[in-house]
Structure 1
């Protein structure tokens, strides 16, 4: 018993170090003056961040990423919220199977989804690749997560309040806007932040459907293939901080409060 109680924390500690160690090193080396990523480290500097901010290609990639992630968050939130609301309002045995069916794209390998989207856009629909194609692909994989977050909040929703509002003469739209939405606002905002963060970091669908140009993820991939520029550490650190920050805010907002 004593050996087990000692071994389990040790295993978890080693696993955490294995998973988090590279992330810590990336952040640390983003402030090193050395051109090579190796020890001993050089002096602390913000040179790589300054070089990154002066890079026009980085600005173009960041613009593309934001121009994709913002519509993805908006579309996924609206459609995912409406889907979760409909499934919860039905309150039948079909609600959970339909929600699981909606989440099917999340279970499929991203490579399969990316190839399928290229075939759909180019071969079947004859549409050009670009930002709209990436947005469609990202919505496909983020909308189920938004619906799942909203559905988990709707599971504890008191529908008798809606019935009372309707009895008092409120229309369906007034009931949704004045009764349902205020109680769901925190979960909706949190789900939108999750969709935004996922779209910002997504790589496989983006690299297949972006056509010309880059997103942040494909920009980093391109730099890694050509050279180990230390500014890559700066990009990774910025993305890491943004992702962690958005995730923490989303978890805070979507936490059930009874």
Structure 2
């Protein structure tokens, strides 16, 4: 290896390390600060403990926002999974007419800028006479995450041989029995992976939620509102817990995705 190559590799490692620090440094600082008292005078480094984690229960508004976020995410994932599964299975076994148009409709909200998607949904709900609430937020999240679940399920379905479905039908099983006992077990890993990724996306969705939320804010909206007046110390503790859960979901999703790709 020449001197120029060594210098180039060193610079690349330095740039990579700098990018890594810029991306994850703020999150690391939030976790560190969640264990100390913070005042106008600065950080009390001698106050290490879990006091702010214990005081999370003293902030009911924050916990209510977290509960709304979890509720919206869970409902959105369940609805989007059912819808994506039905559409993908129809495209696999049905006439398959209009597939390009259908997939265009599914993927368009995901690839458009979030502000466009949010405004469009807001206008649509107003025309339909629907007041902004957690229901409209859930519908908005379904529109966003549907593309992820549909794509991953469709990839898994396309890897299945048509002969398996045909054999099941030839042996006397109806369409529902074929789906339940032949197709669905082979989609389990894809459903788990897409569900975890979709829930993570729904959990931290802010811009679309901003246009659709009513009087019951989700956690990202609550945190955004607190930026105007400043964060209370227990926010660091809550964000640290959210980071831990999000990283866990991402790791589980990556592991499940690796398993899904290995089976193809």
Q: Is the shorter-chain TM-score for this pair beyond 0.5, marking a shared fold?
A: yes
CA-to-partner distance for each residue in 1:165-198, whole Å, 9 max, x for gaps? 1111111111100000011112112212222222
5 Å matches for 1:219-238? 219-238=222-241
Counterpart for residue 159 of structure 1: 162
Counterpart for residue 52 of structure 2: 48
5 Å matches for 1:203-222? 203-222=206-225
In structure 1, list runs of 5 or more residues that go unmatched.
none
1:30–1:230 Cα contact (<8 Å) kept: yes
Q: Secondary structure at the match of 1:173?
A: helix
Counterpart for residue 27 of structure 1: 31
For 1:159 and 1:9, locate their aligned partners in 2 and report how far apart those are by CA, in whole Å. Answer: 48
In structure 2, list runs of 5 or more residues that go unmatched.
none
Counterpart for residue 62 of structure 1: 66
For 1:173 and 1:37, locate their aligned partners in 2 and report how far apart those are by CA, in whole Å. Answer: 66
Counterpart for residue 149 of structure 2: 146
1:36–1:230 Cα contact (<8 Å) kept: no
- The alignment status of 1:257 with 2:249, answered yes or no, reads no
CA-to-partner distance for each residue in 1:206-237, whole Å, 9 max, x for gaps? 22211112111111112222113222212221
Structure 1 residue 97 displacement after superposition: 6.6
Structure 1 residue 81 displacement after superposition: 1.8
Q: Secondary structure at the match of 2:151?
A: helix
Aligned residues: 257
2:36–2:44 Cα contact (<8 Å) kept: no
CA-to-partner distance for each residue in 1:79-136, whole Å, 9 max, x for gaps? 11222233344697965674354211111111111111111112x1111110111011
Q: Secondary structure at the match of 1:13?
A: helix
For 1:168 and 1:218, locate their aligned partners in 2 and report how far apart those are by CA, in whole Å. Answer: 54
Structure 1 residue 4 displacement after superposition: 2.3
1:153–1:187 Cα contact (<8 Å) kept: yes
Residues 1:39 and 1:152: Cα distance change in structure 2 (over 3 Å):
farther
Q: Secondary structure at the match of 2:178?
A: helix
Counterpart for residue 190 of structure 1: 193
Q: Secondary structure at the match of 1:257?
A: helix
Q: Secondary structure at the match of 2:38?
A: coil
Counterpart for residue 82 of structure 1: 86
- Among 11, 16, 20, the alignment partner of 1:7 is 11
2:145–2:198 Cα contact (<8 Å) kept: yes
1:103–1:144 Cα contact (<8 Å) kept: yes
Q: Which moved more, 1:169-178 or 1:77-86?
A: 77-86
1:29–1:37 Cα contact (<8 Å) kept: no
TM-score, with structure 1 as normaliser: 0.90
Instruction: State the superposition RMSD in angstroms.
Output: 2.3
1:75–1:139 Cα contact (<8 Å) kept: yes
- The alignment status of 1:179 with 2:182, answered yes or no, reads yes
